């Protein structure tokens, strides 16, 4: 192309890209390697609900995250929610730091009656109404759906579609935590309901698989997960958050089944830059050390719109903080 036509060509390209995004923004190739800008890059952190009640939520440095997911707020068998002491205060504090707060429902040990709640039209409607009311009661910014395994059934799509319809008029977010192991259970329509998607890129193995010792969250898993959801499933990279574990799993003698990263550092000196520690008794603790978290953050800057952390209170402090490492990488990418 002739040099004098470059400006026109760039304007035309920008217009075409804009039109394409408007027409089909939720599904497009996710293999663009242009780093995300720091001011739009999400850092989603999960915090246990009981840490809201016991006051430990105050230990979280909210200046280091963009979204705070409170896990897990689950209803009773009738779809009604209990009161959550301290949640309004946490929400207000977070909003003062420009952090959005969401209630996360479900979890790895979600109540079995979720299958019944979302299957029946009337009970599903009550659950959706209760969730919408929950966001109003505690001034929350949305709902995060973490239903896994058999809970992602034939009723999942209609549930999240109806929930989206209830939240959208309130300008509330709807997000999800998904695992690639259940990939075929998520329909494209269901995935299109979410404002963004947190990929649980961990728990490849664990204490439930004692016969398969090893790293539960290897770097290669992060690459494969982003390639699948961004490439195979065509989800825009801006909608994807790469999940990072702040904990480890132990296999064999002399190590506990699971440990927070903070406890790993205290128990095994010199472990911060490693991904595994083998003890004298023969057992091994597997986790993500600082270099791996740094590398995964760089990967997410290239192929996603953010990262997600499970969970914030398992982190080290100061120069030993994985969260600080994430923030530093994001800032460096924006220089």
pLDDT in tens, 72-87: 999 999 999 999 999 9
Cα torsion for 80, 106, 29, 11, to the nearest 10°?
A: 40
Q: What is the pLDDT of residue 90?
A: 98
Where exactly are the structural domains of the chain? 31-246+289-333
CATH topology of domain 31-246+289-333: TIM Barrel (3.20.20)
Contacts of 303 (CB under 8 A, 6+ apart): 30, 31, 32, 33, 226, 227, 230, 237, 240, 242
Task: Output the CA–CA distances (angstroms, integers) from residue 17 to 38, 93, 141, in the order listed.
Answer: 22, 39, 30
Q: Is residue 109 over pLDDT 50?
A: yes
Q: Which residue has the higher pLDDT, 4 or 98?
A: 98
pLDDT digits (tens, 9 = 90+) for 278-325: 999 999 999 999 999 999 999 999 999 999 999 999 999 999 999 999
Per-residue confidence (pLDDT) for residue 335, from 0 to 100: 84
Classify 71 as helix, strand or coil: strand
Going by their DSSP bridges, the two strands 284-286 and 276-278 should be labelled as antiparallel
Instruction: Compute the average pLDDT of residues 158-176.
Output: 98
Which burial class, exposed, middle or buried, applies to 276 when counting CB atoms under 10 A from its CB (0-12, 13-18, 19+)? middle
Determine contact, residues 114/104, Cβ cutoff 8 Å: no
- pLDDT of 11-29, one tens digit each? 333 333 443 333 333 333 3
Tell me: the pLDDT tens digits for 205-246? 999 999 999 999 999 999 999 999 999 999 999 999 999 999
Predicted TM-score (pTM) of the model is: 0.88
- Mean pLDDT over 125-143 rounds to 98
- State both tokens at 198: 């947190």
Residue from 250, 259, 300, 301 nearest 279 by CA:
250
- How many alpha carbons lie under 13 Å from residue 235 in its C-beta half-sphere? 29
Strand partners, 196: 175
């Amino acid at each position: 192309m002739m040099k004098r036509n470059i400006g026109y060509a760039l304007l035309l390209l920008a217009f075409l890209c804009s039109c394409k995004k408007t027409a089909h923004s939720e599904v497009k190739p996710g293999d663009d390697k242009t780093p995300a800008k720091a001011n739009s890059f999400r850092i989603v952190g999960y915090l246990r609900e009981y840490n809201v009640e016991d006051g430990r939520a105050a230990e979280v440095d909210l200046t280091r995250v963009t979204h705070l997911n409170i896990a897990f707020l689950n209803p009773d068998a009738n779809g009604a929610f209990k009161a959550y002491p301290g949640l309004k205060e946490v929400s207000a504090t977070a909003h003062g730091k420009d952090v959005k707060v969401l209630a996360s429902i479900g979890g790895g040990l979600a109540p079995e009656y979720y299958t019944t709640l979302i299957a029946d039209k009337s009970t599903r409607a009550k659950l959706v109404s209760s969730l919408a009311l929950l966001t109003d009661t505690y001034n929350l910014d949305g709902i995060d759906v973490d239903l896994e395994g058999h809970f992602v059934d034939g009723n999942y799509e209609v549930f999240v579609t109806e929930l989206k319809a209830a939240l959208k008029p309130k300008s509330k977010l709807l997000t999800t935590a998904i695992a690639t192991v259940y990939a075929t259970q998520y329909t494209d329509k269901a995935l299109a309901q979410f404002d963004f998607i947190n990929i649980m890129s961990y728990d490849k193995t664990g204490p439930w698989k004692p016969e398969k010792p090893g790293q539960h969250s290897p770097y290669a898993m992060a690459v494969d997960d982003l390639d699948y959801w961004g490439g195979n499933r065509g989800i825009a990279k801006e909608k994807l958050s790469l999940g990072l574990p702040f904990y480890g799993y132990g296999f064999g003698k002399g190590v506990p089944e699971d440990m927070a990263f903070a406890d790993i550092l205290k128990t095994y000196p010199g472990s911060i830059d490693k991904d595994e520690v083998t003890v004298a008794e023969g057992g091994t603790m597997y986790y993500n050390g600082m270099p791996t978290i740094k590398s995964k953050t760089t990967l997410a800057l290239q192929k996603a719109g953010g990262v997600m952390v499970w969970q914030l209170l398992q982190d080290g402090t100061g120069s030993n903080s994985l969260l600080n490492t994430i923030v530093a990488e994001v800032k460096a990418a924006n220089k």
